[in-house]
């Protein structure tokens, strides 16, 4: 059995998490493969919630599978698809089945996904969602009613340290910290300075909040250009693009892994932040290579 994530966060060590992306369909075979491959190599496995607004197998379902397989799940919850009643009910269910970590997210707009005509909910925002989890933790629902058994969730959220302008983002982060978070996973970052500034900002407010830098390996010049162009809040520096351009054909993935591992080593050695959250979407089976190259296993 894995150690509860909350206990891991309390320790001094470098925290490592990664993701399991649910499939689009009722099959869970790939997810099980990834769970088996990764569960003992990281401290927590995030499960995305209809990621990028694409309808898929639910986050909660994969979290239960992770529990069954002896791993430590982090349930991602977005505000896009469920109102406050549905979110609370799902969280009660998750808790009753042993899920103890929730990552509170706004969620992408339906405009970027595969159900563009759907009604997006956003009954709550991510700050309100954090408050909601704490309310359930105190054995009440957010309408003020008493519960026959509350929850005991460890609460996380996300932030975008590369946003431009950054000030409105930081005010939101401030509100999230005030609402009470145990950890913050950042959007993919590529500059040490940026994550350093962000960590300092958070520690100034509350030094108990653990910061996990978001790591997304860049595996080609085209991917870098696409992300710079289309993914708000991510800035891939020219030096990374240059290094990729120099890599021999067919070695992009290996190069991406190498560069991510290098960054993780620096983050750890220079104590820039408390850990990393690795997102290698569609290539989960290669996450162990990053961990090995970074000296984390």
Partner 1 sequence: MIIAERKPMEEIEESVAEYKKVLVAGCGTCVTVCWAGGEKEVGILASQLRLARGAAGNEIVTLETTVERQCEKEMVTEIKDKVAEADAVLSLACGSGVQTMAELFDDKPVLPAVNTTFIGMPEREGLWVEMCGACGDCFLDRTGGVCPMVRCAKGLLNGPCGGTRKGGMCEIDPDKDCAWVLVHRRLEKQGRLDLMREYVTPKNFRAVRRPGKVQAAKA
Contacts with partner 1, residue ranges (CB under 8 A): 79-80, 84, 106-109, 111-112, 120, 122-128, 131, 142, 158-160, 163-165, 167-169, 171-172, 174-175, 178-179, 187, 232-233
* Composition of the chain by helix, strand, coil, percent to 5: 45, 15, 40
Q: Which is nearer to partner 1, 106 or 137 (CB)?
A: 106
Q: Which is nearer to partner 1, 140 or 265 (CB)?
A: 140
Tell me the three state secondary structure of residue 16. Answer: strand
Residue with tokens 């390996």: 217
Alpha helices in the chain (DSSP H): 5-10, 29-38, 59-68, 84-96, 126-137, 167-179, 192-205, 221-230, 238-246, 252-269, 287-293
Minimum distance, C-beta of residue 158 to partner 1, in the bound complex (Å): 6
Minimum distance, C-beta of residue 128 to partner 1, in the bound complex (Å): 5
Minimum distance, C-beta of residue 289 to partner 1, in the bound complex (Å): 28
Q: Which is nearer to partner 1, 59 or 187 (CB)?
A: 187
Minimum distance, C-beta of residue 109 to partner 1, in the bound complex (Å): 5
Return d(Cα 45, Cα 121) in angstroms, integer.
26
Contacts of 6 (CB under 8 A, 6+ apart): 100, 101, 154, 182
159 token code pair: 């932030």
Q: Which is nearer to partner 1, 108 or 191 (CB)?
A: 108
Q: What is the DSSP letter of 39?
A: T
Q: Which is nearer to partner 1, 111 or 117 (CB)?
A: 111
- Orientation of helix 192-205 relative to helix 167-179, angle to 10°: 40
Minimum distance, C-beta of residue 3 to partner 1, in the bound complex (Å): 29
Burial of 116 (0-12, 13-18, 19+ CB in 10 A): exposed
Minimum distance, C-beta of residue 232 to partner 1, in the bound complex (Å): 4
Q: Which is nearer to partner 1, 119 or 249 (CB)?
A: 119
């Amino acid at each position: 059995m894995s150690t509860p994530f909350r206990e891991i966060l309390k320790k001094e060590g470098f925290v490592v998490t990664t993701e399991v992306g649910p499939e689009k369909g009722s099959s869970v075979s790939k997810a099980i493969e990834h769970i088996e491959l990764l569960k003992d190599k990281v401290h927590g496995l995030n499960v995305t919630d209809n990621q990028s607004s694409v309808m898929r197998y639910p986050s909660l379902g994969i979290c239960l599978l992770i529990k069954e397989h002896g791993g430590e799940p982090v349930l991602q919850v977005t505000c896009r698809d469920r109102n406050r009643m549905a979110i609370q009910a799902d969280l009660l269910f998750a808790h009753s089945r042993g899920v103890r970590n929730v990552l509170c997210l706004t969620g992408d707009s339906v405009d970027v996904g595969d159900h563009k005509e759907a009604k997006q909910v956003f009954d709550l925002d991510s700050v309100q969602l954090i408050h909601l989890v704490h309310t359930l933790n105190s054995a009440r629902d957010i309408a003020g009613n008493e519960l026959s058994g509350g929850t005991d969730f460890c609460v996380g959220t996300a932030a975008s340290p590369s946003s431009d302008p950054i000030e409105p983002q930081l005010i939101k982060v401030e509100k999230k910290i005030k609402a009470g978070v145990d950890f913050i996973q950042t959007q993919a970052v590529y500059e040490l300075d940026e994550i350093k500034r962000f960590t300092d900002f958070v520690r100034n407010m509350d030094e108990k909040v653990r910061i996990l830098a978001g790591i997304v390996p860049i595996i080609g010049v085209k991917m870098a250009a696409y992300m710079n162009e289309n993914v708000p809040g991510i800035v891939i520096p020219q030096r990374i693009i240059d290094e990729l351009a120099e890599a021999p054909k067919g070695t992009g993935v290996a190069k991406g892994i190498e560069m991510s591992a290098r960054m993780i080593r620096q983050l750890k050695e220079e104590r820039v932040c408390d850990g990393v959250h690795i997102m290698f979407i569609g290539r989960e089976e290669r996450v162990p290579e990053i961990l090995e190259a970074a000296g984390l296993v």
